[in-house]
A and B are shown apart, each in its own frame.
Chain A
Amino acid sequence: MSTVPTSVQAPLVCWNCHERTLGTHFCSSCGKLLQLPPGIDYFALFEMPRNLWIEMGALEQKFLQLSWKLHPDNFVNASEQERELSLKRSSELNDAYRTLRDPIARVEYLLAIEGERKEGETKQQAPPELLEEVFELNESLDELREAKASGEDLAELKSRLEAAEKNFQEKLHDVDGELQATAREWDAALTGDSLTRKKIMARLNDLLNRRSYIRNLVTNVAKELAEV
């Protein structure tokens, strides 16, 4: 599987003039707006390699440039088919921009198109190395709920939970750092052998699951604490 976008695409037949066309956006023969050709993923749409480090200025510029071409405003007086197509194409463009702009969504998307992550996958089991701490945290949360119900003094429990929250915040920060480092490894191995790339992707996938798990924990603790 190639991970570098190629400029060579299978020629498509235009829905309007039925000629074979090489365009990504508009038919090279009749100039009509086209369906997004198969195989054009978000990275290819922005004419970028599947790098995890993206220069934001360049991404934005390309986004604005494509928006001019694809936005439904341009097709108000066009045929119904073209109006529908422009709605589809511009929503795809906006979805792509939203995904690539966000560093976490970008990693998730990359793993999805590389076939290393199923859509919507987030493992909800605790990562093994965190088991003990998570267990303690859950106990404290239960105690807090009970104490709240019976009207006991919450000060000690509260400070214990606050400490735990801080601890997990730090872990979240560490995971983000690890993700960044692994992303750099990915970029360096972009044209390397497939085994190395697969290994990096497996690590990225683990990190994403870990991150999502810890983030949920932090949100839950913060919510419980806010109600005290």
Chain B
Amino acid sequence: MGRIVGIDLGTTNSLVAYIDAQTGQPKCIPGPYGSTLCPSVVSIDADGSIIVGEPAKRRLLTQPERTIYSVKRLMGRGPGDVQDELKLFPFRIDPSSKNVIRVRLGQKVFTPPEISAFVLRELKNWAEAFFGETVDRAVVTVPAYFNDAQRQATKDAGKIAGLEVLRLVNEPTAAALAYGLHEKQRGRVAVYDLGGGTFDISVLKLISTSEGDIYQVLSTNGDTHLGGDDIDNLLQAFVHERILQHNQIDFSPHGELAQELRKALINVKHQLSEADTATLRFSLPNGKVFAHEFTRGAFEALVKPVVDRTMGPVKQALSDAQLKPSDMDEVVLVGGATRTPLIRHTVQEYFDRKPHRELNPDEVVALGAAVQANILDRGVKNMLLLDVTPLSLGIETYGGAVAKVIPRNSTIPASAQELYTTGVDNQTGIEIHVLQGERELAKDCRSLARFTLKVPPAPAGLPRIEVKFLIDANGILQVGAKDLRTGEQHFIEVQPSYGISDTEIERMLEESIEYAEQDFAERQLIEARTEAESILTATAKALTNPQAASLSAEERSRIDASVAALKESVAGSDYKLIRKRIDELNQATEHLAELLMSCAVSTALEGRKLAEV
């Protein structure tokens, strides 16, 4: 078995963390660019190879058509759900999308879980490079307010990436775990988590018992389509409008220029977290520069609607937990967007308490995921997490109404049994429609699954079928049925309304392995080029050494030819050819190396002699 990690699969950035064996503390793993943040951006090259993270993010500006970001917004959703997103995000939905969304990236078409899987695989690579061992299992975090379909899609992404997802943990709960370990907090804690694309609020109770610490979630609420992205969208719309007014330029909201503007505005937003004013300077295609000074006040007035939208869920979560703001002992801020001073002040004012933000708000969720991964891996028995289901589970009844069978904020795992019978003689099937949500009518709730219970022919009302709905510790639904007259158990294959079938996942897994091989070729190329660069530098330096003068003319010209050939191969993308030319240059410089070596050795010996004297 390989190693286990904790992964925060974020809208904007993703991170991977582990528990340091020496200190017992969770730590994030840096990637090849030194940062622990892997931008959740995926790009496809003309030759079909996949690029993930920082280099993909740079391609947002140069190849927006071949690059996708914020794909988490599409996870577990149907084409009908995302019309609003399409106005704001450059998602190119393929016409082949039926139940499951398919997005176009270059010449290819992918489902959101496949794109998320590229990000997960990248993080897996980071961790494997770091440990020098395989990583095959993970705890992955999800927004607490994610529904069944969104959770299932996240689990599917893990599978496609070649990771066994041992548990999905809610992001605010993970953050509470990391803080609890850090500060040994007790009492009631509110976690306010505003990420790139999702908002969660969770109310927890931290209890010390003789066996260990229990993190009991009392209630959770949120909005899976509210985050820092929305602040950026407001800023972007504001500036678009200005540019249109003053310069009569109306550029496509998703083109390269828009991406560049978005990047500049995010920079302005970051500056305004520290400074009182920040100026946007943006070069327009007509050669003019659009400049606009934002004061913090004007910025805050602009983004206030986003902050206000978070307060509804906050109040609901407290009321569900039957608590008042003043009942909270601690408040924790999580997510990059909580760096915005307006958010900090709003939260502080509401709870009348200075919120904690000692841990890096970008990293804290991944750190908590690593803590839970460690608990599951080693059976560490001094901590227990009791989470809840964010949405009520219901069944459609007569007239399109919904009967709730598991209320929201029930501790998971949770279950409910319902008894079904037939209405007419010899009826062979009973239709069951499972929903998630708080509204009273089925059409206003989220459809999770529809299936038909098979019933042996019998007079009406005689069959007695018990259907068991079970929400597991990941917040994912399982359904089973039992014929109470025969005691026969049925396993029900529930095809989620917006999910991917198991066979499709198998196919995606196979394809992703092909991509992994492409990725492998790409890594080989990078490594070969790096090695070529260093051997070329070393050769050039060696040739300036006085010892090089003793090379024969033939030897010298062979070296020069090999250097030229290697340089030529580095410009191409055939890593095998580069390797071959490296070997050739190594052979050509064998004598030169010997000359230098003997010189170095004699110098070393002389040195030693001198030292000995």
Residues of chain A whose beta carbon lies under 8 Å from any beta carbon of chain B: 64-65, 67-68, 71-74, 76-77, 87-88, 90-92, 94-95, 97-98, 119-120
Minimum CB distance partner of A98 in chain B: B410
Q: CB within 8 A of B376: which of A73, A94, A119?
A: A73
Q: CB within 8 A of A72: which of B207, B209, B413, B416?
A: B413
Cβ of B327 within 8 Å of any chain A Cβ, yes or no, is no
Chain A to chain B contacts (Cβ below 8 Å), 28 pairs: A64-B214, A65-B209, A65-B211, A67-B384, A67-B386, A68-B209, A68-B211, A68-B212, A68-B381, A71-B384, A71-B386, A73-B375, A73-B385, A73-B473, A74-B381, A76-B166, A76-B376, A76-B377, A76-B379, A77-B379, A87-B473, A90-B473, A91-B412, A91-B415, A92-B415, A95-B416, A98-B410, A119-B419
Determine which residue in B212, B470, B473 has the highest number of CB atoms from chain A within 10 A of its CB, and name it: B473
Sorting the interface of chain B by its residue count into under 10, 10 to 19, 20 to 34 or 35 or more gives: 20 to 34
Q: How many A-B residue pairs have CB under 8 A?
A: 64
Given A64-B207, A91-B470, A98-B411, also A73-B416 (CB < 8 A): no
Cβ of B472 within 8 Å of any chain A Cβ, yes or no, is yes
Q: Roughly how many angstroms separate A223 CA and B12 CA in the complex, as a whole number?
A: 40
Cβ of B414 within 8 Å of any chain A Cβ, yes or no, is yes
Report B383 CB to chain A, min CB distance, Å.
Answer: 9
Residues of chain B whose beta carbon lies under 8 Å from any beta carbon of chain A: 166-167, 207, 209, 211-212, 214, 216, 375-377, 379, 381, 384-386, 407, 410-416, 419, 470-473
Q: CB within 8 A of A90: which of B214, B381, B413?
A: B413
Report B163 CB to chain A, min CB distance, Å.
Answer: 15
Q: Is the interface of A mostly helix, strand, loop or mixed?
A: helix
A87 with B413: CB separation less than 8 A: yes
Instruction: List the 10 closest A-B pairs by CB distance, nearest first.
Output: A91-B413, A91-B415, A94-B411, A76-B376, A72-B473, A68-B211, A94-B414, A90-B413, A87-B413, A98-B410
- Using Cβ atoms and an 8 Å threshold, which residues of chain B touch A119? 419
B411 with A97: CB separation less than 8 A: yes
Given A64-B209, A91-B470, A119-B419, also A74-B410 (CB < 8 A): no
Report A4 CB to chain B, min CB distance, Å.
Answer: 26
Report A64 CB to chain B, min CB distance, Å.
Answer: 6
- Using Cβ atoms and an 8 Å threshold, which residues of chain A touch B415? 88, 91-92, 95
Q: CB within 8 A of B412: which of A68, A74, A77, A94?
A: A94
Report B166 CB to chain A, min CB distance, Å.
Answer: 6
Q: Roughly how many angstroms separate A76 CA and B167 CA in the complex, as a whole number?
A: 10
14 new A-B contacts, CB < 8 A, other than A90-B473, A91-B414, A94-B414, are A68-B209, A68-B211, A68-B212, A68-B381, A68-B384, A71-B386, A71-B473, A73-B375, A73-B385, A76-B376, A90-B413, A91-B471, A98-B414, A119-B419
